[in-house]
Structure 1
Amino acid sequence: MEENTPAPTPGLEYGSDAIRTLDWKEHIRRRPGMYIGKLGDGTHADDGIYVLLKEVLDNAVDEYMMGYGKQIEVTLVENTITVRDYGRGIPLDKVKDVSSKMNTGAKYDSKAFKKSVGLNGVGIKAVNALSSEFYICSYRDGKCKAYLYRSGNVSEDYPLADAHEQNGTFVRFVADANIFPTYRYRDEFIEALLKNYVYLNSGMAIVFNGRRFYSKNGLVDLLNEKMTSEPLYPVIHLKGDDIEVVITHNNQYGEEYYSFVNGQHTTQGGTHLTAFREAASRTIKEYYNKNFDYSDIRNGIVAAVSIKVEEPVFESQTKTKLGSRDMGPEGPTISKFIGDFLKKELDNYLHKNAETSDILLKKILDSEKERKAIAGVTKLARERAKKANLHNRKLRDCRVHFNDTKGDNRDESSIFITEGDSATGSITKSRNVETQAVFSLRGKPLNSYGLTRKVVYENEEFNLLQAALNVEDGIEGLRYNKIIIATDADVDGMHIRLLLITFFLQFFPDLIKKGHVYILQTPLFRVRNKKDTYYCYNEEERIAAMNKIKVNPEITRFKGLGEISPDEFRHFIGPDIRLDQVTLRKEDLVKELLEFYMGKNTMERQNFIIQNLVVDEDEL
């Protein structure tokens, strides 16, 4: 045997009995990530339990898109979800096949579902397999057929029966707690999902626990819902066969887009969004017949694009990024289709609406003026950042990045923004070097409220942070899916959080709007004895831990991140990491929000602080 050849592992025989074929449900239950992305516990909008709901809703919405059923009813009681549509209903002799036989569905045949988003016969089966209980009933022409499954196995095969119900399909499921431990649905994530459906299908209503969601103006309503700054001009709304577009600008920095394919929210964009950005910029540039830089045209843009494609190809099972190049097997390229549409419709709109075109021209000129004013600073800052990146003591990078073209764990890529050597040291020593990077601040960052983009390049710390995130030209190149602010939970730590959030809101609001910014929760107490140790994030958890230990518990109050040893810190940034997502609602108008918290020390803010002051009894 050669010296470098590994010795055979004892007891490992490779015979025919080592080859196994998993049945459909066992494969889904063992490898759920292949079918629904990450699992999660319901604390994030893209967690698996919402994907399950979405798979059921997609089928109901596809029926509406084909012209059947104007209302969908959704209920949530504890963890039981029901979805009732009023479409055609599944053919009664195929209810079992559709719900439990892989690669079975109507969506392979474009005649029945020309531009659907369903998972080609996988989606509803994944919901079945990953549910502790799954019930499906089809109503069709006065008859009904139903099945009850438990963990993907048929529990009840109900006989064909008469029914006095409207045609359609009823689904009830409970996500399996063995696969989604300690999960809980959050109404706000479900409501956001349902709103997208009605914005994309104006005229369709979804009733959720008695609340009705309906949109008359389609994507215009979506943009008005999402915008947190006043638009500079009325939203441009363009609609054609298989395409709908809305565009406006505001005074925020950067670009903000919402893209959809066949009703699917493509959160990571794709070929259609790339085509839209290029075509919109080119059309506007040609309309004014001036050699504008595309970045000046797009600065402050807020837009949405929805297209319908035959047989779309997505870059992942969860369909967050479109990979298709063509509108269909015999259709034009997506780029040509969108380009031709905007060249005609957007150009016509600007010619007919002189007031809008004048406002847009002023916005472009203002962006150009500011960009040229800081051109010298930008060049020096880029050179400085490039040199610093080669030996940047502020950034301890990881190996996997969100903008990598390949890799199953791109979504896990994160960067901790820390303050102080001790906290930075603890996180750096305990992090996962594959997916977790660390960026170290030097004291409190500058208050950027009211400053222009110039400060991003003049301030070394901001410039290096921008370079680390790779967001200078927009968040398409973002290197980390999660930007985690990791500061002490004291007054100074809270102030640093506010300063960083102010920076992001001022110059990169899309990072927050698209859900990339988080606050790291760290324990306030450690309660232990010689046998057990509990880390507690609030007073209730501390009391519960003391009740478990009962006799002579040792209680440690953590004052800062630097007090937590790297060995302990490993628990808090591992699989059980607790994060609070920084979110922005429609009513949180960015300008007013920043002015209140970060502007001059107004009497209103002083009164707010006094009225909301909480005194920690342990400090008295």
Structure 2
Amino acid sequence: MDNSTNVQYDEDSIRSLDWKEHIRLRPGMYIGKLGDGSSIDDGIYVLVKEIVDNSIDEHMMGNGKTIEIKISEHRVEVRDYGRGIPLGKVVDCVSKINTGGKYDSGAFQKSVGLNGVGTKAVNALSHYFKVSSFRDGKAKIAEFQQGVLTHESGEEPTNQRNGTHMVFEPDGTIFKNFRYIPQFLNNMIWNYCYLNAGLTIVFNGQKYISQNGLLDLLQSKSDPEAIRYPIIHLKGEDIEFAMTHGNQYGEEYYSFVNGQYTTQGGTHLSAFRESIVKAVREHFGKDYAPEDVRSSIIAAVAVRIQEPVFESQTKTKLGSNTVTPDPNSPTVRTFVNDFVKERLDNYLHMHTETRDAIKKRIEQSERERKELAGIKKLANERAKKANLHNKKLRDCRMHLTDAKNELRYETTLFVTEGDSASGSITKSRNIQTQAVFSLRGKPLNCFGLTKKIVYENEEFNLLQHALDIENGVENLRFNRIVIATDADVDGMHIRLLLMTFFLQFFPDLVRNGHLYVLETPLFRVRNKKETIYCYSEEEKQAAVEKLGNKPEITRFKGLGEISPSEFGRFIGEDMHLEPIILQKETSIQKLLAYYMGKNTPDRQKFIIENLKTEKSIEELALAM
């Protein structure tokens, strides 16, 4: 019998939520996925951006050349020196939806936030929120808890410079076990500087400043020894781009709209990719294949448009088709294409060495593609047959490509070693969002090898197909790729070999924050009443002290030793993931050459200088 017919549906069933209740009930609508801070697109970083974006918009309007940001693991402070919020509207601006200065396009013509939600979402999702506005010798302060006003000052005299100071602590009941990771914040701060040449950001006491915009960005992302020609950097009104070609696999783009880093691209990036191909084809008078023109490209593009429309509140993908709200204004595609076509063509006519280097790089890509064509066909036929009965992949029901599914960002592929480890994960996983790919023994060290090996090696080819990344990351099926290996020497080696595979052939996966390492407990400490799982020696000692009276201690050497019933705890809500983060200045080729290349003198020297013998460890322990 269907009990749903017995449920009352009348006037009492209709509920109206106030602004903060709605944000707290449906946070994903406002800040994307929640997360614990281990991923760059987790909500706690969106909270930071929403506050900093307001300060950036003030700077863009010519108010304030410095922004001060302090962030600890759980607390954020942002101080700008703009005009300050009008004192009579301080409370309204942070606690009333659809209230703000950005609806007046004369005041903020090309700002990021136009929906009046951002700061209110931060307020509602914070355990503590404080806003202070300083304006013409007067100050107004308001404090909130979970969006509820707890203190409001009157207008008081102050000697502070004009501007706004905001402090917040994300709510731990919504963002469970969260922490801010400094490397993610560091990349975010640099992006703000690259897009606002001359702006100084003081982040945790360190100054960040860029004088050359996207040229500086590309110099920080590329290895000067590996690029084929000096970076092309062209600027116009409301558009700027920089580009070069390297030797890496894939395409590497950084795209921005009104100062917002659009990690998922959008209409402006699509237009830019198309226009590079058109401009090159017309300049050389040859019908080059698009993939040959763009292979190994490293580029950044930034546009400013009026009233941008993004595909979500988190503003990671531009959906606008026109440059201004006027239906007769040029489309984003036309705007970008006209600029790139004219300016790049002129540049190549004036710089013949760069012109020749681009031609040489395109022709090399064409040769490599044709050489791979035959083996790709055979490998793909093998992969199709294997997919019909692929024992290596235990798939899940949802995928990152399911655009309308809220859980798509939770989709995870665990890459494991051996049957025992994959068996434990398979039995305890969430079949909706978690898949498992099982390796057979140690994968090949692919450093220095060409992409041909991805097709020749059965395991690499099947892994590539499981992820659906053969033609780029646009069709990636899982948001998180998690390397799950034993915490022993062999496990660490397999971890390094897999990281080498992704960095060598699919660096975009790493740059875009999709690659992680699973941390599982090293120890289980228990007595008859309580069990504590410990991820380090320090945690083990604390657990032993807490439980007292000689508790039972188990050392987990491999994933297969953890029973499926226990394993479910470590890949659920409290899963410990360590993201693989590329620093701003990291050169992938140099990194891989150092760790995975032949036994170099530099690596030998490092090992000798840092090697700890059993005797030295005992001496260190006695000295403590």
Provide the TM-score with structure 2 as the length reference. Answer: 0.93
Aligned equivalents of 2:71, 2:582: Cα separation in 1: 25
**Which of 231, 239, 252 matches 1:243?**
239
Shift of the 405–615 alpha-carbon distance from structure 1 to 2, 3 Å rule, reads: farther
Identify if the C-alpha distance between structure 1 residues 178 and 423 changes in structure 2 by more than 3 Å, giving closer, same or farther. Answer: closer
How many residues align? The count is: 614
Alignment partner of 1:81 is 2:76: yes
1:321 aligns with 2:308: no
Matched, 1:361 2:356: no
1: CA distance, partners of 2:442 / 2:377 = 26
Instruction: Write the distance in 2 (CA, Å) between the matches of 1:586 and 1:155.
Output: 41
1:333 aligns with: 331
Alignment match of 1:112 (pick from 92, 107, 112): 107
- CA shift digits 1:102-138 (9 cap, x unpaired): 1111222322211111251111111222223322222
Q: Tell me which residue corresponds to 1:553.
A: 551
Displacement after TM superposition at 1:591 (Å): 2.1
| Contact 2:33–2:42 (Cα < 8 Å) also in 1 | yes
Cα contact 1:227–1:586 (8 A) shared by 2 = no
- Give CA-to-partner distance per residue, 1:420-461, whole Å, 9 cap, x none: 111111111111111111111111111111111111111111
1:563 aligns with 2:561: yes
* Percent sequence identity over aligned pairs: 61
Q: 1:299 to 1:128 in 2, by over 3 A?
A: same
Written as runs of structure 1 = structure 2, the 5 A alignment for 1:153-232 is: 153-228=148-223, 230-232=226-228
Equivalence for 1:300: 296
Separation (CA, whole Å) in 2 of partners of 1:439 and 1:51: 31
1:471 to 460, 466, 469: 469
Residue 129 (str. 1) matches residue 124 (str. 2): yes
CA distance in 1, matches of 2:312, 2:566: 36
Query: Which 5+ residue runs of structure 2 have no aligned equivalent?
Result: 619-624
TM-score by length of 1: 0.94
**Compared with structure 1, are the counterparts of its residues 365 and 552 closer, same or farther at alpha carbon in structure 2 (3 Å cutoff)?**
same
1:465-490: per-residue Cα shift (whole Å, max 9, x none)? 11111111111221111111111121
In the alignment, structure 1 residue 597 sits paired with structure 2 residue 590:
no
Distance 1:47 1:87 in 2: 28
Given that 2:73 and 2:181 are in contact with CA atoms closer than 8 Å, whether structure 1 keeps it comes out as no
Aligned to 2:538: 540
Q: Does 1:148 align with 2:139?
A: no
State the partner residue of 1:93.
88
Query: Post-superposition shift, 1:264?
Result: 0.9
Q: Deviations over 1:203-234 (max 9, x none)?
A: 21112233211110001111122225632211
State the distance in 2 between where 1:41 and 1:483 align.
16
Letter of the 1:387 partner, please give it.
K
Amino acid at match of 2:259: G
Query: Which residue in the other structure is 2:48 paired with?
Result: 53
Q: 1:228 to 1:140 in 2, by over 3 A?
A: same
Matches of 2:460 and 2:75 in 1, distance apart? 46
Change (3 A) 1:134 1:5: closer
Tell whether 2:38 aligns with 1:40.
no
Q: Secondary structure at the match of 1:409?
A: helix
CA distance in 1 between counterparts of 2:170 and 2:108 reads: 28
Which amino acid in 2 is paired with 1:140?
R
Runs of 4 or more above 6 Å deviation: none
- 1:246 deviation in Å? 0.7
Question: 2:64 aligned to 66, 69, 82, which one?
Answer: 69
What is the CA-CA distance between 1:165 and the residue it aligns to?
A: 3.7
The 3-state SS of whatever aligns with 2:155 is: strand
Q: Which amino acid aligns with 1:199?
A: Y
What is the one-letter code of the residue matched to 1:122?
V
Q: Which moved more, 1:331-340 or 1:156-165?
A: 156-165
- Write out per-residue CA displacement over residues 43-65 of structure 1, whole angstroms, 9 at most, x where no aligned residue: 43333332222111111111111
SS in 1 for 2:153: strand
The answer on whether the counterparts of 2:134 and 2:140 sit within 8 Å (CA) in structure 1 is: yes
Alpha-carbon separation, structure 1, partners of 2:543 and 2:114: 45
Separation in 2, partners of 1:209, 1:528: 41
| Distance in 2 (alpha carbons) for counterparts of 1:60 and 1:497 | 41
Match of residue 21 from structure 1: 16
How far the C-alpha of 1:615 sits from its partner, in A, is 6.7
Match of 1:374, SS state, is helix
d(CA) in 1 for partners of 2:15 and 2:309? 30
State the Cα distance separating 1:322 from its structure 2 match. Answer: 1.4
Deviation at 1:29, TM superposition (A): 2.5
CA distance in 1 between partners of 2:110 and 2:161 (Å): 25
Match of 2:307 among 305, 308, 311: 311
Give the counterpart letter for 1:187 in structure 2.
P
CA–CA distance in structure 2, aligned partners of residues 479 and 78 of structure 1: 31
Paired residue for 2:417? 419
Q: Distance in 2 between matches of 1:425 and 1:585?
A: 35
Please name the residue that 2:389 is paired with: 391
Match of 2:455 among 442, 454, 457: 457
* CA-to-aligned-CA distance 1:187-208 (integer Å, 9 cap, x gap): 3332221111111011211122
Judged with a 3 Å threshold, the aligned counterparts in structure 2 of structure 1 residues 313 and 222 are, in CA distance, closer, same or farther, namely same
Give the whole-Å Cα distance in 1 for the aligned partners of 2:575 and 2:223: 30
Q: What amino acid is the match of 1:500?
A: L
**How far apart are the structure 2 equivalents of 1:444 and 1:351?**
51
Is residue 2:256 matched to residue 1:255? no
Match of 1:266 in 2: 262
Provide the rounded CA distance (Å) in 2 between the counterparts of 1:332 and 1:591.
41
The structural deviation recorded for 1:173 is: 2.4
Report the counterpart of residue 276 of structure 1 in structure 2: 272
Partners of 2:496 and 2:253 in 1: how far apart?
Answer: 25
2:230 aligned residue: 234
Please give the alpha-carbon distance, in whole angstroms, between the structure 2 residues aligned to 1:43 and 1:182. 10
Name the structure 1 match of 2:622. Answer: none
In the TM superposition, residue 77 of structure 1 has moved relative to its aligned partner by: 5.9
Question: Which one of the candidate residues 120, 133, 136 is aligned to 1:138?
Answer: 133
Match of 1:446 in 2: 444
2 CA distance for matches of 1:24 and 1:613? 58
Structure 1's unaligned 5+ residue stretches are none
Q: Give the root-mean-square deviation of aligned CA atoms.
A: 2.2
Q: For 2:360 and 2:367, how far apart are their aligned partners in 1?
A: 10
